[in-house]
């Protein structure tokens, strides 16, 4: 679209420009100055203005512009028409032409009831579906000019996790390819933590619409729990040159697991607000979608994966409105799968071929496990007793034949803190504390602390 190309300038290499001073508002489209610029039908704008005033009573012009995320010129244009139709009247005027309060007339009150019966959405004015498609495509991590994760960045992110260099290279190649990847291995091997860590490697901020108009229906996309402002963003609300109907966010990280159901992959009506909301996998657009516990969902794994992989290939997913037709919405994510089952046992051959990389994540090496224990000690503010680490690895793990899984250090350190907190003393990572934590985790597998001999 012409508006997007004019408002999201590219650098010399073609990628979205992020100014060196940290002002990333250049990523957002330009602010609409007229009703026509918004791309939204006048009736939809009028309905949102009337519903906003119905919720707030006598309303200042500045409040309307803030809640609708529109420029004063656009809101005035809508209000002029509503005044002419006798739905709105001026309630108070101040010393300036922007210090004005409006209120609904009796005709406007009746119109508000009709509009609310059609849609209970009250909030920022939606963007058009065409504008959403264009910006999702422009912001895609699969664009040839998009930034790629470097070996140094990946090493820094995973340095303390005990990941073997060969596995780290596999992960790097998968990220560079932007193809779907799958982690598989035993429960507790750290697949989920690893998958979520990858989301931190995507640094470029993206624009996310608060809502999108889809065939006369408003679909809310933005979720403050998923779409977080980048640290370097500053003063966005005071910037009058950008379209405030878009939020500037970090690339989203959406995680879903065994709780996934069929209806969660469709448009849904929020029970509390009555507003139509985008499903989680579409809220992950331009970010990372982690599908955990593949094969444990309430619907067949093949059904989920064929849909997601097919949608990724076509960059569009057809999502249904409850009791209504389906809509084609843009779909662009980096897809990471995790399972503790063998991939061949849950997915057919055609599905497996479309997963770019299948990476086994198993027990850590001796050195990797020890490094992870030391890291967890640092995170808990404890000094790592090397004798206690030796006892944990050589006696507890090897004697019980429990593999060196990435989940155990975090769990053990947490239990050491629990026991110490209950006893009213400072936690310590020593043999006694390790044995007590191990016994609480695995029962009779650990020796009693009185039988430790000279280990202490």
Residue 365: CB atoms within 10 Å? 12
User: What is the four-CA torsion angle of 328, 334, 339, 341, rounded to 10 degrees?
Assistant: 80
Distance CA 426, CA 436 (A): 15
Q: Which helix (H) or strand (E) element contains residue 143? A: none
Using a 10 angstrom Cβ sphere, with 0-12 exposed, 13-18 middle and 19 or more buried, the burial of residue 48 is: buried
The answer to whether 403 touches 390, Cβ cutoff 8 Å, is: no
Backbone φ and ψ of 269, nearest 5°: -95, 120
What would the DSSP string read from start to end of 256-288? Answer: E-TT--SGGGS-EE-TTT--EE--HHHHTTTSE
- Tell me what pLDDT residue 298 has: 86
Q: Do domains 41-123 and 176-360 have the same CATH topology?
A: no
Among residues 137, 246, 153, the alpha carbon closest in space to that of 202 is found at 153
Architecture, CATH, for domain 176-360: 3-Layer(aba) Sandwich (3.40)
DSSP code for 16? B
Distance CA 226, CA 113 (A): 32
- Tell me what pLDDT residue 56 has: 84
- Tell me what pLDDT residue 261 has: 93
The answer to whether 207 touches 361, Cβ cutoff 8 Å, is: no
The answer to whether 284 touches 312, Cβ cutoff 8 Å, is: no
Chunked in runs of 10, what are the mean pLDDT values of the chain (456 residues)? Answer: 30 36 68 96 97 93 96 97 97 89 97 95 97 96 88 88 90 94 95 90 90 94 92 54 94 94 93 90 96 92 94 95 88 96 93 94 94 94 96 96 95 97 97 96 65 41
Using a 10 angstrom Cβ sphere, with 0-12 exposed, 13-18 middle and 19 or more buried, the burial of residue 147 is: middle
Which token pair is 125? Answer: 């004015």
CATH 1.10.8 fits 366-451, yes or no: yes
Bridge-based pairing state of the strands 246-249 and 206-209:
antiparallel
- Tell me what pLDDT residue 453 has: 40
Among residues 196, 226, 204, 406, the alpha carbon closest in space to that of 290 is found at 196
The domain locations on the chain are 41-123, 176-360, 366-451
Backbone φ and ψ of 117, nearest 5°: -70, -30
The answer to whether 295 touches 351, Cβ cutoff 8 Å, is: no
**CATH topology (fold) of 41-123:** Arc Repressor Mutant, subunit A (1.10.10)
Dihedral sign for Cα 305, 268, 317, 123, please: negative
- Tell me what pLDDT residue 116 has: 95
Distance CA 438, CA 424 (A): 20
Q: Which helix (H) or strand (E) element contains residue 351? A: helix 349-354
Distance CA 289, CA 304 (A): 13
Cα distance between the two ends of the chain = 71
- Tell me what pLDDT residue 6 has: 29
Distance CA 151, CA 168 (A): 9
- For the stretch 374-412, pLDDT in tens is 999 999 999 999 999 999 999 999 999 999 999 999 999
What would the DSSP string read from start to end of 184-223? Answer: E-STTSSHHHHHHHHGGG----EEEESEEEETTEEEE---
């Amino acid at each position: 679209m012409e508006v997007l190309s004019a408002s999201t300038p590219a650098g010399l290499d073609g990628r979205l420009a992020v100014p060196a001073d940290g002002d990333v508002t250049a990523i957002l489209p330009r602010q609409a100055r007229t009703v026509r610029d918004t791309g939204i039908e006048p009736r939809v704008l009028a309905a949102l203005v009337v519903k906003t005033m119905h919720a707030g009573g006598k309303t200042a012009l500045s409040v309307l512009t803030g809640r609708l995320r529109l420029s004063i010129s656009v809101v005035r244009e809508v209000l002029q028409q509503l005044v002419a139709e006798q739905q709105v009247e001026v309630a108070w005027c101040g010393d300036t032409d922007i210090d004005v309060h409006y209120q609904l007339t009796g005709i406007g009150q009746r119109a508000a009831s009709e509009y609310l019966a059609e849609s209970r959405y009250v909030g920022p004015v939606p963007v058009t579906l065409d504008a959403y498609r264009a910006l999702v495509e422009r912001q895609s991590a699969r664009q040839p000019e998009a930034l790629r994760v470097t070996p140094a960045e990946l090493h820094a992110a995973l340095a303390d996790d005990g990941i073997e260099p060969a596995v780290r290279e596999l992960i790097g190649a998968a990220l560079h390819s932007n193809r779907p990847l799958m982690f598989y291995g035993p429960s507790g091997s750290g697949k989920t933590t690893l998958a979520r860590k990858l989301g931190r490697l995507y640094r470029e901020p993206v624009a996310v619409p608060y809502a999108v108009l889809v065939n006369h229906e408003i679909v809310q996309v933005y979720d403050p729990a998923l779409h977080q402002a980048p640290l370097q963003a500053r003063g966005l609300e005071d910037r009058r040159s950008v379209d405030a109907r878009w939020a500037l966010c970090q690339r989203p990280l959406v995680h879903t697991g065994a709780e996934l159901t069929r209806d969660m992959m469709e448009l849904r009506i929020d029970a509390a607000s009555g507003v139509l909301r985008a499903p989680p996998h579409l809220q992950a657009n331009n970010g990372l979608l982690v599908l955990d516990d593949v094969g444990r969902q309430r619907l067949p794994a093949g059904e989920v994966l064929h849909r997601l992989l097919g949608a990724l290939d076509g960059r569009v997913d057809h999502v249904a409105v409850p009791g209504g037709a389906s809509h084609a919405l843009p779909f662009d994510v980096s897809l990471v799968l995790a399972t503790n089952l063998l991939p061949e046992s849950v997915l057919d051959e055609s599905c497996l071929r479309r997963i770019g990389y299948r990476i086994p994540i198993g027990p850590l090496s001796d050195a990797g496990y020890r490094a992870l224990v030391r890291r967890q000690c640092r995170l808990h503010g404890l000094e790592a007793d090397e004798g206690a680490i030796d006892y944990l690895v050589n006696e507890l793990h090897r004697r019980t034949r429990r593999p060196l899984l990435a989940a155990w250090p975090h769990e053990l350190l947490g239990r050491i803190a629990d026991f110490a907190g209950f006893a009213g003393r400072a936690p310590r990572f020593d043999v006694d504390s390790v044995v007590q934590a191990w016994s609480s985790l695995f029962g009779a597998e650990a020796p009693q602390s009185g039988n430790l001999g000279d280990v202490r």
